[in-house]
Structure 1
């Protein structure tokens, strides 16, 4: 894998959830290339920030992305999560 990427691990986790809102932590960790604990911490950030909502369904979690959430860096703050997801060719969220 490259030593750096254009997107953060937070964006990678968000894109995994956009692709499949029922992904398991293990699956996300494997795809992003980080530990399951890393995914847990990122999900906690995304949930606390209001970008993602977690719902327990049986023994699994289902994640809902809030597409209206604004990107956090001042250079991208005029864009929202839905635009990021759409720009990267993932299914519509929300």
Structure 2
């Protein structure tokens, strides 16, 4: 007998944490690399301790992940005063063969941060949208 599938929406508590998070669930659909990338998409000026707290890993783990992402060409780090600014390469492709046809921009659009008006933020991670190209005439 085939059972009916229910929607996979985890229940949330009044603080917004899912039951899986609250009970210390042991897995998620995205890797820590994806979580760090999505944090940077939300705010490219975040500090490592802030990212570590949001992702639930150590600051050292964030450093190692950032090194991977920089070496892989997925993000670029620029020093701005005493702080770092990170720019995401939206054209980088996901690494696993099952998702390699998707770009980082696709990931950020699908599960990344939203702006206050509910629209997806640009995948470059700098908060600025790229203006549409003008077509040449004549």
Give the alignment's TM-score, normalised by structure 1: 0.97
Whichever structure has more helix as a proportion of its residues is 1
Task: Output aligned runs, 1:16-27, within 5 Å.
Answer: 16-27=39-50
**Change in CA separation of 1:41 and 1:54 when aligned onto 2, cut-off 3 Å:** same
Aligned pairs, how many?
94
Unaligned runs of 5+ in 1: none
Aligned to 2:127: none
Structure 1 position 85 matched with structure 2 position 108: yes
Structure with larger Rg: 2
Unaligned runs of 5+ in 2: 1-23, 114-120, 125-138
Give the alignment's TM-score, normalised by structure 2: 0.67
Whichever structure has more strand as a proportion of its residues is 1
- Bigger RCO (CA 8 Å, 6+ sep): 1
